[in-house]
Amino acid sequence: MATTTMTIAKAINAGLRTVLETNEKSLVMGEDVGALGGVYRITEGLQKDFGKSRVIDSPLAESAIIGTAIGMAIRGYRPLCEIQFDGFIFPAFDQITTQLAKYRSRSGGKFGTPVVIRVPYGGGIGSIEHHSESPEALFAHTAGLRIITPSNPNDAYWMIQQAAVSEDPVLVFEPKRRYWVKGEVDTEQDPGSPHKAKVVREGTDATIVAYGPLVATALAAAQAAEEEGRSIEVVDLRSISPIDFDTVTASAQKTGRVVVTHEAPVFAGIGGEIAARVTERAFLSLEAPILRVGGFHMPYPVAKVEEEYLPDVDKLLTAVDRTFTY
């Protein structure tokens, strides 16, 4: 077992490096990913070591980045694209949802589009709209796309490599405010399917389901609840499409109370799908309705008030308390 301590940012960089080393058909492309190493320095040093033909600084044109990647994938290459900020993905929305996601079906399985799209997402960095958004539900609604999101360095290291060998297009939503969180990375033991949820804290009284940036918040809420005499289980969803409903349902049946949280607006969010599916599967085990904690149905606010917008420990504990009032 080879373990080392890394930040999520360094773990993704190391994962990308492994991909480039092991598959000569792989390449990294995006705005400022080369000489600068990306806005968050995720790709730092890669162009120096692998050259400009494999770590490509693209024009400021997200639609062109993804459109080019689709063509390259059809010809046998495996592009790993970076979208600089979450809100910048929308110029490429048409390419992703009507071309990338559909090409395998449209070609009757003749052509795959093994493209990886890395998307730094979420708030908490004191920035404004187009730099702090959580658009994952818009893509989860589109069949043909796989969507994963790491919450810790070990998952970050392995998920980017797992995405790179997938025959389907994969969006990797990276929680940007957690980029500098450190943790242990086992560089030898593959943790298994990125589409399998994990129980990251055992509990008996209620379940909090979270993913990406809010897993740490859910764990903090569970710790605070323990000091008040409540045992909270925390499930890290890890995958947004497909969703591992079996693990979530098993936790719901165990605890009888569920709170689902994400930074994206509650309205029409991933939490609603989870609440509906788990209610169908575990209705007789539930002691209360499944509650959702997320952002408001509004554009992402200015930095001065973003803490009012984002789910935090107090909001999660309030929701847990509500599940005990029914």
- Which residue numbers are catalytic? 131
For strands 198-201 and 232-236, give the pairing.
antiparallel
CA dist 186 and 65 (Å) reads 32
The residue length of the chain stands at 326
220: amino acid identity, one letter:
A
Residue 261 Cα to chain centre, angstroms: 13
The answer to whether 267 and 99 are in contact (CB under 8 A) is no
Residue 194: cis peptide before it, omega within 30 degrees of 0: no
CA dist 225 and 208 (Å) reads 12
CA-CA-CA-CA torsion sign (33, 35, 40, 43):
positive
